[in-house]
Structure 1
């Protein structure tokens, strides 16, 4: 009997390794879709006659549903295992991509299609995080998170380059086609992954709705700055906080919020990842305003060279974390990001290659930060908290990226950002981008300060 159990365990381990390879493949395409539309936003705004704050919702809608979906899939994995949630997510992702391609002539349909894509694509990184936390030894997690981080960063980096070529030579609507590559993995997952035990716990639908409503209202406020949105968001999130304390199986366990170290790490990651996402979404607008560049030049000539080494940085970050620890690698990543923002605020308009070089530094720092945040958060969780905890981390980080992009769209519509009042870039149309970079630097340093607080708490 023991021999049979052992052989079954070996078989399960082999299946998980194979599944991890395919998950890495679909992770690349799922996360690539987060940035592939970045360089197309100016063209979309022009085609539909909408302001940047509205065009930004092409990305924001994807990332918001991606964020909420990441925690939903993590919770579902605790109930139904990995196979069923993954297959459902991939099918939703494919359906959203097809719908977007067919209905691209209508702006609301494009937003809805992006929402569907995010709802499906979020299954992949969320379940990868759960797999690593559940099945990889603590001392090896740095390397595992580094591998995933490099794939995620590579997808984010290649996205603008692919998007720029498609937008320039074909049409931005064809950006909906590449994500359908993930459907190639459906036969493998359907036939190879085993069905896991089913829990009788029910999904907290009301909790999901309250949390989603609060997030959408807050994102709308960052884009349009109307008090109605922030008031509705606060009410929805307050209702969610009360609700999860009263139901038997809440969407998010209140006990996780009592783990203050985990909460602070999550908040630190949110500030840093959201800030970098905002910076990356700002670059196409700046390059278009200052240099009148086309989409393919921005994606392939400015952003892509800045991210070509991101795979190396991801593997390197995992090795550095395992060797030198989280704090040193985090400090290096934060320094690279903050220094890049400060430099960009002053000399970003000197020449296009300057911004490319600063993007290299930024993406390098981002790779380090992502690995450290994932590794640090996983070490604060108990085994039974892995699914929910890492789901919250994915949810919060992707949510912050969506809000960062919406925030940039809102800032671009504020006239006061065109009035010189601080040392900034010399080009007349670059002044507002300098001020945005000052804000990004402040947010990045605030995120770094929060992470430092986790070290002080551990010493007490």
Structure 2
């Protein structure tokens, strides 16, 4: 039993890191009401949380190399607890973003790379596969418990209690840190690559910000951007600038390495094919997971009017099956290789998203919706059971912190882009569909259709159809029959927008299959070269 005590500490920390993200996703409507803001603002707060983690994960991994992984794990937990406390007390959405998105995000950026390295350092061979399967399962547990616990607390008490409870959980983890064995002191203390950290954070931030704002800025033709570039929307220019900054980051890292300095991350790691395949698959998995976990709760709450707890109940099938499947990861390695399990997981995920598209209607309910969500959880659980162990087992001992930083950078970059991109596609498809339907409807006059087109071009919001109906009823210049047609088209466009968002997840899942060729092909849990 003693040998599994470190896993209890590390698994609980992993559970904590994913809990509040799932709480936020089912509390969108309540947060909008509490802070008197819009859905897009809460979407930005959710995206910022994962973006901060993605942007600083490499830095967090390098700090672990500098001062010790166990120490940075403790420091990160303390920072995370401070952020949770501030979030629980947040009087405004700005303070919410500071406490949750920034401070908690920075704390997680310290904790997660250290967590991955500590797990790899505490276990070997099949025990390591078991450890990563349990950690993946507890991540699934956080996703499972988050919607239900957060939904119940949000609906009947207040979402703030979840974050207050996180502070207590942090204190409990710190109280049993003695269960983590002392780690070898770093042989040397490399200097932190501050310029590299700044370039990587800036490049990632620019790309994700552009994708997040694409729904309101437009991709090419400007909708409602703060400025234009040569008459075009700034979105693609911001993406290009972000890519250029990331290229400068790579050039700087190579130059620093040639001069004998310690880079933020050794780019030679990307020549490791199993590692590269694992990172790309992790990125795609989290893009799909967080994209779906943003748009589906949004639809359930905004369109169907469900409260946070009811939303959590609708998400229970995916949460429960993901938890159960991910916990079986180490057992599956007795029958198939990691590559085979991941490919099966992606195929199951592909089938689940296609089934989900057919199940989408005015009401997300019934056996088809529940079945597709349960199948979705199985696919995600198969991926979660293998990818963490694959990444860590593909590198040498001294590279584990860097690999952990890359692992969680890929996960959180996928999470932030998933929330931003899939959310933006939802809004973009909503705008395109409602415009097309209104322009082709003879019941709607040309003047009203033109006015709607102008409003949509300036930016459209994902709001309840009843709110649209009430706004039209207050206008004397829109006849009742035209108002009814507009509301009908808006409702249909919401369904089409959700289907388009899920279809994008299907395409991403299919693309992920192309990157699985170099995953480990042996059945036994791979051992890292020492």
TM-score range, shorter chain: 0.7 to 0.9
Q: Is the 8 A contact 1:332 1:365 kept in 2?
A: yes
The separation in 1 between residues aligned to 2:189 and 2:112, in whole angstroms, is 25
Query: Deviation digits for residues 198-220 of structure 1, max 9, x if unmatched?
Result: 43211112211111111111111
The aligned residue for residue 116 of structure 2 is: 129
Query: Aligned-pair distance for 1:358?
Result: 2.1
1:409 maps onto 2:423 in alignment: yes
The aligned residue for residue 108 of structure 1 is: 94
How has the CA–CA distance of structure 1 residues 340 and 67 changed in structure 2, closer, same or farther, with 3 Å as cutoff? same
The separation in 1 between residues aligned to 2:130 and 2:178, in whole angstroms, is 28
Q: Is the 8 A contact 1:221 1:230 kept in 2?
A: yes
What count of residue pairs does the alignment treat as equivalent? 437
Query: Deviation digits for residues 122-141 of structure 1, max 9, x if unmatched?
Result: 44442232123334223443
For structure 1, the residue ranges without an aligned partner over 5 or more in a row are 1-12
Q: Is the 8 A contact 1:133 1:378 kept in 2?
A: yes
The separation in 1 between residues aligned to 2:119 and 2:31, in whole angstroms, is 38
Instruction: Please give the secondary structure, in 2, of the residue aligned with 1:203.
Output: coil
Query: Aligned-pair distance for 1:389?
Result: 1.6
The separation in 1 between residues aligned to 2:59 and 2:76, in whole angstroms, is 11
**Aligned positions of 1:149-160 closer than 5 A:** 149-160=136-147
Most deviating of 280-289 and 134-143: 134-143
1:206 maps onto 2:195 in alignment: yes
How has the CA–CA distance of structure 1 residues 69 and 154 changed in structure 2, closer, same or farther, with 3 Å as cutoff? farther
The separation in 2 between residues aligned to 1:348 and 1:122, in whole angstroms, is 36
Q: Is the 8 A contact 1:96 1:117 kept in 2?
A: yes
Query: Aligned-pair distance for 1:331?
Result: 2.4
Query: Aligned-pair distance for 1:297?
Result: 0.5
Query: Aligned-pair distance for 1:191?
Result: 8.9
The separation in 2 between residues aligned to 1:234 and 1:310, in whole angstroms, is 34
Most deviating of 49-58 and 339-348: 49-58
How has the CA–CA distance of structure 1 residues 420 and 127 changed in structure 2, closer, same or farther, with 3 Å as cutoff? farther
The aligned residue for residue 354 of structure 2 is: 342
The aligned residue for residue 236 of structure 1 is: 245
How has the CA–CA distance of structure 1 residues 455 and 85 changed in structure 2, closer, same or farther, with 3 Å as cutoff? closer
Query: Aligned-pair distance for 1:193?
Result: 4.9
Most deviating of 84-93 and 71-80: 71-80
The separation in 2 between residues aligned to 1:311 and 1:452, in whole angstroms, is 26
The separation in 2 between residues aligned to 1:409 and 1:241, in whole angstroms, is 30
The separation in 2 between residues aligned to 1:100 and 1:289, in whole angstroms, is 24
The aligned residue for residue 3 of structure 1 is: none
Q: Is the 8 A contact 1:219 1:406 kept in 2?
A: yes
1:317 maps onto 2:329 in alignment: yes
Please, what TM-score do these two structures have when normalized by structure 2? 0.76
How has the CA–CA distance of structure 1 residues 31 and 314 changed in structure 2, closer, same or farther, with 3 Å as cutoff? same
1:451 maps onto 2:463 in alignment: no
The aligned residue for residue 182 of structure 1 is: 170
**Aligned positions of 1:82-97 closer than 5 A:** 82-97=69-84
**Aligned positions of 1:386-401 closer than 5 A:** 386-401=400-415
The separation in 1 between residues aligned to 2:435 and 2:501, in whole angstroms, is 13
How has the CA–CA distance of structure 1 residues 98 and 351 changed in structure 2, closer, same or farther, with 3 Å as cutoff? closer
Most deviating of 374-383 and 251-260: 374-383
Most deviating of 215-224 and 367-376: 367-376
Query: Aligned-pair distance for 1:88?
Result: 0.6
Query: Aligned-pair distance for 1:454?
Result: 5.2
Q: Is the 8 A contact 1:207 1:250 kept in 2?
A: yes
How has the CA–CA distance of structure 1 residues 418 and 383 changed in structure 2, closer, same or farther, with 3 Å as cutoff? farther
How has the CA–CA distance of structure 1 residues 105 and 44 changed in structure 2, closer, same or farther, with 3 Å as cutoff? same
The separation in 1 between residues aligned to 2:344 and 2:65, in whole angstroms, is 35
The aligned residue for residue 270 of structure 2 is: 257
Query: Deviation digits for residues 347-392 of structure 1, max 9, x if unmatched?
Result: 2226514433322211221111122222333343223222212321
Query: Deviation digits for residues 215-243 of structure 1, max 9, x if unmatched?
Result: 11111111112245324312321221111
The separation in 2 between residues aligned to 1:153 and 1:444, in whole angstroms, is 19
Query: Aligned-pair distance for 1:298?
Result: 0.4
The aligned residue for residue 50 of structure 2 is: 63
Instruction: Please give the secondary structure, in 1, of the residue aligned with 2:516.
Output: helix
How has the CA–CA distance of structure 1 residues 351 and 401 changed in structure 2, closer, same or farther, with 3 Å as cutoff? closer
Q: Is the 8 A contact 1:37 1:175 kept in 2?
A: no
Q: Is the 8 A contact 1:53 1:410 kept in 2?
A: no
For structure 2, the residue ranges without an aligned partner over 5 or more in a row are 215-234, 438-490, 522-530
Query: Aligned-pair distance for 1:420?
Result: 7.5
How has the CA–CA distance of structure 1 residues 315 and 175 changed in structure 2, closer, same or farther, with 3 Å as cutoff? closer
Aligned partner of 1:220 among 209, 216, 235: 209
The higher radius of gyration belongs to: 2
The aligned residue for residue 40 of structure 2 is: 53
Structure with the higher helix share, 1 or 2: 1
The separation in 2 between residues aligned to 1:190 and 1:400, in whole angstroms, is 33
The separation in 1 between residues aligned to 2:518 and 2:268, in whole angstroms, is 20
The separation in 2 between residues aligned to 1:190 and 1:131, in whole angstroms, is 13
Query: Deviation digits for residues 270-314 of structure 1, max 9, x if unmatched?
Result: 112211210111111121244221121101x21134312433212
